[in-house]
Chain A
C-alpha cells in the first residue's frame, strides 16, 4: 500500500466540502502537507504549484535534475526562504505547524525540534571554529531546557548512536579533523539530538564516496526503523531514492511529473520524462557494446610513481602503476577520492612528470605535454577561460601548430563545433552563455582540434545531470568509433565506467587494485575492495537494495 496520498486534492475543486473535510482529517494524520506550493525568486519560478503529503514515519524521495526546484521545496518546509526575497505561495504544514503563518518563535520551535535538516556538504555545513560536540549541544539547548553539561552528554550520546567511535573524545574535535563520512554522521547526530518527527535530507550523500554513501544510507535506514521518524529525501540520484524511500516524486521545472511507490514507478514509469530519466541512468550491469578496440598500443604508463610534498610530509599519490591504452579502446579508471586517479590522468597527458617510471607514447618514452594526447576536464566552469570566446579557445591547438590562415581556422572550428553537436555560429560566444553540458562539448571540441590519438577524460560527466551525462557519453563513443581514439575514462561512478570501458583499472590509495577486461572485473571481481565497491553501488530495484543492505549488515555484525 502506498503511504502517500493522492495530494493533488488541494488544487482541484475546493468548493467540494466533503473533500475538504477529508483533507482536514488527513492533515491531522500526516506529518507534511504541502498544498499548491509556489516559490519565486524574482522572475524565476523555482517551484510551481506543487502538492504532496507525507504520513508519519513514511519516507518520500524528491527526485529531479538541476533546476527542478527540489532543494527549494526542502527549504520551504522549514520556512528557510523567509527574509531572502523569495515569494512563497500556497500552504505548508509540517508536524502541525502552518509554516507560512507561523511566527518567528513558532518557526524556531519547529526547526530542529520537530523537523531537522541534513545538508549536502558536511564540511561547510558545520562551523569550522567550534568542537562538533559543542555545536550539537548548542542546538540541543535551543530546544531543551537543560544544563550545558547535560547537553554535552546528549551530544556524546547521539554521536555514539550514529556510529562515531570513541564519541566522548571525538566530540571535542573540530569538523576539519573528521573525514567526510564522519562529518555527515555528525550532522545526522545533530538532527537526531531533539528526536524530530521528520528528517529532511538534502542530497545527504552527494559529496561522499560510494562506499561511504552506502554506510550513510544504511545508517539513515536503521535510524528510521529505530525511531519511527519520517524522511524526506532530496536527491538527483534515482539509485539513492530506490535505496532509501518508500515513495518517489519525480520533479521537473518546479512541477511534479510522476509519483507513487518507488518499486512501481521505477519498474513501470508512466510519464515519458521519467522513462527518459531512468533510461539515462547508467547501470552497473550493462556491458559495453560495439567497441572499435584494436591491438595497437597508443599510450602506456610503466611503473609510474608520483610524490607530492617534501621531507616528512611527502606522500605518493600514485605508486607503481602500469596501464596501457590501445587504439579505439577505452580504459576506465575508477576509484574513490584520494585514490590517485586524477594524478595518473595528469601524468598520462604530461601535465605532471612522474617521480619514477615513464610514460610511453606510440612505443617511445615521452616527457612533457604532447598535442596528440589531449584531456577533457571535470569542471565545465573552470575548464574554459571566461575572458576568451569559445572559438578562440578551440582554435588554440590550430594556432599553436602554426596555422595562420584565419579563414581556414574559423572553418575548422565551425566544423568541430558542429561535430560535437553545437552550432558553428557559436564561435564568438563566451563560456558563460553555455550550460554545463554544452561547455563539456566545447572542451571536447578543443581536444579534437589538436587531432589527438588519445584523450584522457577526467570525470567528464560527474558535474552533469544524468540525461546530459548520457548525451556526452554517447558523443565520446561516437567520436571514438569515427576517429579510432584511444580513451582513458576516469570516474568515481562505477556504472558510468562500466558503460564505456573495454578494460578497467580499479585504484585505491595510489595503487592499482585490479586491472583487466571490464566484464571480468565487474562480473567476477577478484579483490575484496572491488567487491566492496560494487556492493555499495545503489540498486535501482528496492528489493535488491534491501537484500544488499542485509548482506552488508551481516559481515558488520560478525
Chain B
C-alpha cells in the first residue's frame, strides 16, 4: 500500500510543521512580546540582581533568531544552564527551569503527568461508550418517547459546564449521600482499585459533557447515513433493520465521530484543569493554575508546549484512524 505509506509520510511531515509553528508562536508570545522578559520569567518576587542574572542566562542581548535557536536546541538536544556558580545540564526535551523553585520544568510536568493522563484517558473511555451508545440508541428509536427523553438529557448535558457538574456531583455523592469519600489521588501502581474508585467522580464530571456532544454527533451522523442511497439498497434486498442500522449506518457514522474525538481532546484538557482544581487532584492542570497565579512563566510555557504536543498528536492519530476508516481520504 504505497498510497497509504505516502499518506502517513505527508501527515507526519504536517505534524512536525505544526509543532514547530506552535513552538515559534509560544516563543514569540511569551519570550518576546512582554516588555521585561527577564522580570516576568524570574517572577514577581525576584530582586534586581536575580533579574539581571536571568537576563544573562536567557542571553537577552542576542538577536531574536539566535535566542529562538537556543530554545529549539533545548527542546531537541538539551541545553546547559549556568546558574552563576555551577553549570547545570538540562536534557532534551529541555523546557527550561523554574526560577521560583529551582526545579526543571520537565521534572515538574513528568511528576504530575500520570494523574492527568489517568483522568483524561479514563474519561475518554467513558465518554466514548456513553456518547456513542446514547447516540446510536436515539437514532434507532427515532420519533419515539425514549428518543425525546434522550435528546433532552443530552441537551442538558451539553449545557452544563464541567465545574458545575463536578461541584454538584461532589456535593451530592460525597457530601450529602456520603457514597464515596472526597477523592484522593492514589497511584495506579500502588492500588489499582483505589485508583479507580477515587477517580470515578472526576471521570464522570469530565466525561458527561463530552459524552453529550458525542451523543448529538453520533445521532446526527447516523441519521444522515440512514438517508443515503446505499441504505435503501440493503433495505430493498431484505437485509434486517438491525443489521442495516448496526452494521451499515454505524459504520458510516464512525468517521465523523473519530474526527470529533480529536477536537475534544483539546477541550477535555481544559476540562481536566477544572476537574483537577475542583477535586484537588495533583495533576498538571492544578500545577498550571498554581503557576499562573504565582506567575512562574517557564512552568506555564512548558505546560502550553506539552498540552499542545498532546493535542497535535491526538489530531494526527485521529487523521490516520479516519483514513483507515475511510480509505477514500487517502486518494484525495
Contacts and interface: CB of A to CB of B under 8 A. Distances in A.
Interface of A: 78, 80, 107-113, 116-117, 119, 121, 124-130, 138-139, 142-143, 174, 176, 187, 190
A108 B238 CA distance: 4
Given A125-B230, A127-B248, A107 B238 contact: yes
12 contacts: A80-B235, A108-B239, A116-B237, A117-B237, A119-B233, A127-B248, A138-B243, A142-B239, A174-B327, A176-B328, A187-B233, A190-B237
B230 A126 contact: yes
Given A126-B233, A127-B251, A129-B251, A110 B228 contact: no
Contacts of A142: 237-240
Given A78-B236, A112-B236, 15 more contacts: A80-B232, A80-B236, A108-B239, A111-B236, A112-B238, A112-B239, A116-B237, A125-B229, A127-B251, A128-B230, A128-B252, A129-B251, A142-B237, A187-B233, A190-B237
Nearest to B252: A129
Contacts of B238: 107-113, 139, 142-143
Nearest to B251: A129
Contacts of A143: 238
B254 to A, nearest CB: 8
A329 B124 CA distance: 68
B232 A139 contact: no
A128 B326 CA distance: 8
A232 to B, nearest CB: 13
Contacts of B248: 127, 129-130
Of A80, A129, A143, chain B has the most CB atoms within 10 Å of the CB of A129
B310 interface: no
Contacts of B235: 80, 111
A127 B237 contact: no
Contact of A124 (B230, B327, B328, B331): B230
B252 A139 contact: no
Nearest to A111: B238
A112 B230 contact: no
Interface in B302-332: 325-328, 331
Contacts of B331: 176
A107 B331 CA distance: 40
A74 to B, nearest CB: 10
B326 A129 contact: yes
Given A129-B252, A176-B328, A117 B236 contact: yes
Nearest to B236: A117
A442 to B, nearest CB: 30
B240 A124 contact: no
B229 A124 contact: yes
B234 interface: yes
A138 B239 contact: yes
Contacts of B232: 80, 119, 125
Contacts of A112: 236-239
- List 10 tightest A-B contacts by C-beta distance, closest first: A112-B237, A111-B238, A124-B229, A108-B238, A112-B238, A139-B237, A127-B230, A129-B251, A117-B236, A125-B233
Given A108-B240, A142-B239, A142-B240, A127 B326 contact: no
Nearest to B255: A129
Nearest to B254: A129
Contacts of B252: 127-129
Interface string B223-264: 000001110111111111001000010011000000000000
Contacts of B327: 174, 176
A380 to B, nearest CB: 22
A111 B237 contact: yes
Contacts of B230: 124-128
Given A119-B229, A121-B229, A174-B327, A127 B234 contact: yes
A190 B234 CA distance: 10
A128 B234 CA distance: 13
A125 B229 CA distance: 5
Contacts of B325: 129
A202 to B, nearest CB: 10
Of B234, B236, B251, chain A has the most CB atoms within 10 Å of the CB of B236
Contacts of B240: 108, 142
Contacts of A111: 235-238
Contacts of A108: 238-240
A43 B319 CA distance: 46
Nearest to A194: B237
A382 to B, nearest CB: 21
A119 B248 CA distance: 18
A129 B228 CA distance: 13
Contacts of A190: 233, 237
A129 B254 CA distance: 10
Contacts of A113: 238
A187 B230 CA distance: 11
A121 B232 CA distance: 12
A203 to B, nearest CB: 12
Contacts of A139: 234, 237-239
B165 to A, nearest CB: 35
